[in-house]
Structures are given as structure tokens and as C-alpha cells.
Amino acid sequence: MASSQYFFILAIVAIIVPSILATEFVVGDDKGWTINFDYQAWAQGKEFHVGDTLVFKYKEGVHNVLKVNGTGFQQCVAPLGIEALINGNDVITLVTSGRKWCICGVAKHCENGNQKLAITVLPQTVSPAPSPVSAAKECVKPIYYGWMLVVFGILAMVMMTASMDALKKQNEELATKLIAVEGRNGRRERELEARREKEHEERR
């Protein structure tokens, strides 16, 4: 059916488009996540938006990534109980706008090696409902809430259009049937009338 094909294509577009629009930043580019690199200079001139991703590349075990707040960034201290990213290919999705801070928690890499990154995340350019600026302590949350809403909105709209199309078609079919029935009834009535007239004349 045409409407289900239409639905399918739109669903795919709704899922793929956000991933095309999002930018992936490899922190430190070729140098990756390491000591003695100017991450402030690296971040300068770059525009980070909600939905973009940061990739921290380093040799596993040598460094890690800690999401901290402004104070943690300044003092190179991570709040207690915070979980470090340790894979060496750590992807952080920027979920909310505002200032975000990440440091390396290994040895004195942050204090002495300047292994720290501070960025400002701007609201999503396309999303109708950007997340409010928050002084959140964390860089990430696992899902793109904004995009989920957009995708679900589009899906709901498509489903509504599809069901409306189906209803319209049904109505049209019913209307044609009704016309056919009316036509038949009319004919029958005319026939009856004719028969009655004939009988009347015969009786005379």
C-alpha cells in the first residue's frame, strides 16, 4: 500500500536526519586525549550544539575521562562517586546546553599536564524545544530527548495522515456504493410505477 511505504520512508528519514546534522568532535583531533595539549585553544572557534558528540581517544589505562563541574575543572577534582570513562574511545553525547567540563583523573594529568576540557554547548539549531541552560554537573545523559520528541512527533503525524487517507478512501467507496444503490432503487421505483400504470390501463 502506498501509505505504508510513505510511512516507512518518513520513519527512516526521521531517524537518519538527526545523526547527519549532529557533529562528532574528536577531542584534540590527531593528538587525542592526552597531557600537554591546549584544549582551550582546540575548543576555541568550534561550535558545540546539543546532539553533537565528543570522542575522547587515548590508550586504554593511560588516561580516563571525568565529567565535572566548574569547580572540579578549576581544582582538578572530581566529585565523589563519579564514574570515569575508561575505554580509550569514549563517546559523550552533548544532551543539554551550557558549560560542560571534563578532566582526566589519572595521576596529576589535570593539574600538571593541563588535561582538561571546558566547552559551551549551544542549543540545538533545529529542535523546537531546546533544553534549558543548566549548571548540570554532568556532560551527558544517554539519550537525545529533543530528537526523540521530534521523531515521535513526525511518526504520529504520519500515522494520522495515513489513517485519515484510509478513512477518506472508505468514505469515497461508501459514497459510490450509496449512489449505485440509489440509482438501482430509482430504477426499481420507475419500473413499479410503470407496471402500476399498465395494470391500471388494463383494468379500464
Positions that interact with Cu ion (CB under 5 A): 63, 104, 106, 109, 115
Give whichever of 57 and 63 is closer to Cu ion, judged by the CB atom.
Answer: 63
Residue in the block written with cell 438501482 = 184
**In whole angstroms, how close is the CB of 13 to Cu ion at the nearest point?**
41
Tell me 111's DSSP state. T
Give whichever of 59 and 198 is closer to Cu ion, judged by the CB atom.
Answer: 59
**In whole angstroms, how close is the CB of 67 to Cu ion at the nearest point?**
15
Q: What span, in angstroms and rounded, lies between the C-alpha atoms of 74 and 107?
A: 16
**In whole angstroms, how close is the CB of 38 to Cu ion at the nearest point?**
15
144 class by beta-carbon count within 10 Å (0-12 exposed, 13-18 middle, 19+ buried): buried
Give whichever of 103 and 150 is closer to Cu ion, judged by the CB atom.
Answer: 103
Measured distance between the N- and C-terminal CA atoms of the chain, rounded to whole angstroms: 63
Give whichever of 38 and 199 is closer to Cu ion, judged by the CB atom.
Answer: 38
Chain centroid to CA 137: how far? 23
**In whole angstroms, how close is the CB of 109 to Cu ion at the nearest point?**
3
**In whole angstroms, how close is the CB of 44 to Cu ion at the nearest point?**
21
Q: What span, in angstroms and rounded, lies between the C-alpha atoms of 176 and 75?
A: 78
Give whichever of 106 and 119 is closer to Cu ion, judged by the CB atom.
Answer: 106
Cα–Cα separations (whole angstroms), residue 187 to 14, 102, 181, 190, 196: 54, 84, 10, 5, 14
